[in-house]
Amino acid sequence: MIKHIVMWNIRGATAAEKDANLRRLKSAFEGMRDRIPGLLRLEIGVDESRVDYACDVVLYSEFATRQALSDYADHPEHLRVRRELEGLRIARHQVDFETP
């Protein structure tokens, strides 16, 4: 199993604008559930700590194989979400790792 974790900081000139962008991102990624072969689990979490070094949102996902993760990167549904959310992120961090 491959675990894919991505964290972003999200654009927003005001707290309300940032909150709206976070809801938009969360909704877009949740809409991919059950649409991508090999994507076993998908969770989106919005940071509640509000500490200055925290990211705003995290995507936690699990894939059946490394190939499934690779296929996800180019899947039309994922590409649609990436286009839809273009310009929202101001920083991105990613970790992929394999578990037995």
Q: Which of 72, 74, 47, 70 is nearest to 58 (CA)?
A: 47
Q: Residue holding tokens 């994922």?
A: 78
Backbone angles phi, psi at 63, to 5 degrees: -125, 145
User: What separation in angstroms does the CA of 24 have from each of 1, 4, 20?
Assistant: 28, 21, 6
All domains of the chain in start order, with CATH: 2-98 (3.30.70.100)
Q: Give yes or no for a contact between 32 and 39, defined as CB atoms under 8 angstroms apart.
A: yes
Q: What is the pLDDT of residue 82?
A: 94
Write out the two tokens for 68: 């499934």
What is the structure's pLDDT at 32? 95
- Which pLDDT tens digits describe the chain residue by residue (100 residues)? 999 999 999 999 999 999 999 999 999 999 999 999 999 999 999 999 989 999 999 999 999 999 999 999 999 999 999 999 999 999 999 999 999 8
